[in-house]
Amino acid sequence: MYRFVIRAVFAALGLWVADRLLRGVYIDNSFTLVVAAVLLGVVNAIVRPVVFILTLPITIVTLGLFLLIVNAAMIGLVALLLPGLHVYGLWAGVAAAVITGVSSWIGHLAIRDDRALR
C-alpha cells in the first residue's frame, strides 16, 4: 500500500507538471489531480498489460516507440473516465505521458527496494 501511495504521488506530480507545461492538458482542481493519479495507477495495473500484449507486434516493429502511444492512451482513458481531466490531442497526450513517465521513473528510483540488490 505504501508503494502505491508513493507512486500515486509521483504520478500526480507528473500530471501537475504536464498541466502547467502543456497547452492541451488541463486539470480542474487538486481533488481531480489526486483522483486522476490513483485512477492512472489502477489503469496502468489492469488495462495497460492487456493493451501491451495486444500491441506487442507493432511495439517490436517500432523498436518500443509505440509504448509512448500506449501510455498516452492510458492517460486518455483516464481523461475519458474522469470529467475534470482534459487532454486535447494526441501530441498533448504523448507529451503528458513522457512527463508523467519521467516523474514515475524518479519515484521508482526513490522507493526502489535495496534488498533486491543483494
Q: Cα–Cα distance between 45 and 77 in angstroms, integer?
A: 13
- The residue range of the domain holding 72 is 2-117
Model's pTM, two decimal places?
0.87
Looking at residue 109, its pLDDT comes to: 86
Q: Which three cell numbers stand for residue 86?
A: 482534459
Closest CA to 22 of 100, 74, 83: 100
Per-residue confidence in pLDDT tens, the chain, 118 aa: 777 888 889 999 999 999 999 999 999 999 999 999 999 999 999 999 999 999 999 999 999 999 999 999 999 999 999 999 999 999 999 999 999 999 989 888 887 765 555 5
Looking at residue 92, its pLDDT comes to: 94
Q: What's the number of domains the chain is made of? A: 1
